Structure 1
Amino acid sequence: MKPPLPANPRHIAILRLSALGDACNLVPTVRALQRRFPEARITWIIGKGEHSLLAGLSGVEFVVYDKASGLAGMRRLWRELAGTRFDVLLHMQQALRASVLSLGLKADARLGYDKARSKDCQHWFTSHRLPAHPQAHVLDSFMDFARALGVEDDRPEWHLPVPPEAYEEAYRLSGEAPYLVINPCSNARLRNFRNWSVEGYASVVEHAWVQYGLKSVLTGGPSATERDMAGQIQALCQPGSVVNAVGATSLKGLLALIDGARLAIAPDTGPVHMANALSTPTLGLYATTNPDRAAPYLWREFVVNAYPRALRTYLNKSVSDVAWGQRVRHADAMGLIEADEVIARLDALLTATADRGALDEH
């Protein structure tokens, strides 16, 4: 008979390597564990880029695994932790690579997802499983790990660390005038299809500039696709209405830029969850992923949700017909989002958060 999960763990390991948005959604679980077990050590085994985003998170010891290092990197990590034994390992990464990595970690208990949520046979690598939680938001799926350890206070808190030099970096790009952050692209994974249209974004930039005097700061990584899309958006917009900062920020600088924004707009990608974590008003654009599962958690009511339309159009199904987490992998799906509905959500979100705008001006 297996022993129960520890009632008062002294050293908790979290295994979650990627991605940026998921790392942001996991931070409230860390904060809940810290409130419940203030004396416990928390070690988070994390990916290299994700560590760049969250470095300095209070009360957390990070151990970084560079996914590009493969098995050699795993061996280095195992040697680094050879003298460490955890009371419990929270196995939050549903990927075979992470499960193989977990084999070299010493833990009295290994907690993973229930079989319905488990992927890549993760349940073979754990001693305990979460209770079932169908149709959970990603943030709540992570919080289930804290609840399984007895956490009752599960209110979402982040307190992300943003150093002064990151705000200096952001200021050099944004200046003093109020601005929106628009992150047009998601990351370039195979058949991701989460990017909206150049023309749609340009319409939103124009509306924000003419109606509210808000310039738009375009953000993103240095890839050719992101640079090209930002250039096309800028070419359609009035001079002065757009700052092209694509490829020009560090991750901490991006956090600072988002923190100072009046509002952030993005598809289902890291910056939409970074904005949510910073309590920046957030407008998510969703068609290929279900926002009930992956929307910016605090701003779910303001999401533009074309996911049901995409299911009907490309799969001839409704939300109730498909598995939780089903994606619509069609290149035209995001085109179902109309500029008018994004602009209407933008107006509603700016109105609902008008007090924040007044504070930003003083």
Structure 2
Amino acid sequence: MKILLIKLGHSETLDPEVGKVTSLGDVLRTTPLLTALKERHPEAKITWLVDEAAVPLISGNPLLDRVLVVDAFVPFQLMREQFDIVINLEKHPGVCALADMVDAWARYGFRFDAMTGSCQAYEKGQGFLQYIRDKSTPDPERRPWQQNLIEMLGLEWKEQPYVLGYYPNNELLFDVGLNHMVGSKWPTKRMPEEHWLAVAKALESSGLRVSWQQGLDNLHRYTEWISSCRVILSQDSLGLHLALALGKRIVGLFGPTDPREVCLYGQGETIWSETCPQMPCGQPQCLLERHCMAEIPVHRVLEALQRQLKPGV
């Protein structure tokens, strides 16, 4: 059996946004799907079509048989191949058109609407579009992103973990890693600088080894930095997902995005504003005078870190 997974990172799978900046976090949190696919189809040969920027996250992944980097020629190659299953998790109309043209018996995810020139969904992908439409409405039963993805494809959610291609083997150097930066797509995810400085000062005053985010120019060095920390304090960003993949203890900071959509696999806890009336708003730009991430008290962050630093946690 041959499976083609199309996840470039150009659009968030379960969000309405379609952009030009590669979402590395969205690529990484798709990797639990590989385990679910292998559980259903143990003999499957899986090909992943991805953007070049995300290659370091999946290259060498033991569950993948081939990684293809999208360019001007690869689509023509895929249109001449045959697959049993195509799973397209990109909403860009051009990528949807490619998914339609690949020879396959079964298709999941997003398709191209030839009448409107827009993205629609295959029959086994209608749940994706409905989920996106429902995101703006209150949902007390919101579930982890990975669970939604796996179950919408008709597979069983068993808290399948992230799977990296590169696992560093370096020693622990720091007690707490401050993953304080966020990508350009979601500046509203970042806690104010003065809060980060206050957290660092308090931790260092108590004798803890603190490190500020390192290796952002290279994904492998970034992964090595996270591996060198006992606990990671992070906003909802790539660093949080890398820390989960590496089995680190986590304190996750949330504001515009929903903490219920992130499965922590029992590795930590999340903190969010309890006073912002619009949290989570799902917006990359804040429309209020007081930003929700500024509403997270420093003392709550420090208390959470102390819990995660306890021996045996």
Verify: 1:216 aligned to 2:216, yes or no.
no
In the alignment, what sits opposite 1:256? Answer: 224
Q: Which residue of 288, 293, 301 maps to 1:334?
A: 293
Query: Does the 8 Å contact 2:240/2:250 carry over to 1?
Result: yes
Deviation of the 1:199 alpha carbon: 1.6
The one-letter code sitting in structure 2 at the alignment partner of 1:52 is P
Ranges in structure 2 where 5+ consecutive residues have no aligned partner: 10-22, 112-116, 135-141
Render the CA deviation track for 1:105-127: whole Å, top value 9, x for unaligned.
2222211279xxxxx95335x35
Q: 1:215 to 1:326 in 2, by over 3 A?
A: closer
CA distance in 1, matches of 2:163, 2:188: 31
Verify: 1:91 aligned to 2:88, yes or no.
yes
Q: Which residue of 267, 271, 287 maps to 2:255?
A: 287
Deviation of the 1:27 alpha carbon: 1.1
> Which residues in structure 2 correspond to 1:1-362 (within 5 Å)?
10-18=1-9, 19-60=23-64, 61-65=66-70, 73=71, 75-112=72-109, 122-124=119-121, 126-129=122-125, 135-146=142-153, 148=154, 151-152=155-156, 154-162=158-166, 167=169, 177-189=173-185, 192-219=187-214, 221=216, 247=217, 250-293=218-261, 295=262, 297-298=264-265, 302-306=269-273, 309-310=275-276, 312=277, 315=278, 326-327=282-283, 329-330=285-286, 332-351=291-310, 354-355=311-312
Q: Report the number of matched residues.
A: 280
Deviation of the 1:39 alpha carbon: 0.9
Rg larger for: 1
Higher strand content, 1 or 2: 2
Query: Does the 8 Å contact 2:181/2:213 carry over to 1?
Result: no
Q: 1:16 to 1:52 in 2, by over 3 A?
A: same
SS in 1 for 2:164: coil
The one-letter code sitting in structure 1 at the alignment partner of 2:199 is V
Q: 1:214 to 1:137 in 2, by over 3 A?
A: same
Query: Does the 8 Å contact 1:205/1:215 carry over to 2?
Result: yes
SS in 2 for 1:81: helix
Query: Does the 8 Å contact 2:214/2:225 carry over to 1?
Result: no
Deviation of the 1:275 alpha carbon: 0.6
Deviation of the 1:76 alpha carbon: 0.9
Deviation of the 1:28 alpha carbon: 1.3
| TM-score, length of structure 1 as denominator length | 0.68
Ranges in structure 1 where 5+ consecutive residues have no aligned partner: 1-9, 66-72, 115-119, 222-246, 320-324, 357-362
Deviation of the 1:145 alpha carbon: 4.8
Query: Does the 8 Å contact 1:185/1:220 carry over to 2?
Result: no
Higher helix content, 1 or 2: 1
Q: 1:128 to 1:267 in 2, by over 3 A?
A: same
Query: Does the 8 Å contact 2:236/2:253 carry over to 1?
Result: yes
Deviation of the 1:207 alpha carbon: 2.5
Deviation of the 1:271 alpha carbon: 0.8
| TM-score, length of structure 2 as denominator length | 0.78
Identity, in percent, stands at 18
Query: Does the 8 Å contact 2:32/2:163 carry over to 1?
Result: no
Q: 1:202 to 1:326 in 2, by over 3 A?
A: closer
CA distance in 1, matches of 2:152, 2:56: 24
Query: Does the 8 Å contact 1:167/1:253 carry over to 2?
Result: no
Q: 1:177 to 1:186 in 2, by over 3 A?
A: closer
Query: Does the 8 Å contact 2:6/2:49 carry over to 1?
Result: yes
The one-letter code sitting in structure 1 at the alignment partner of 2:275 is R
In the alignment, what sits opposite 1:227? Answer: none
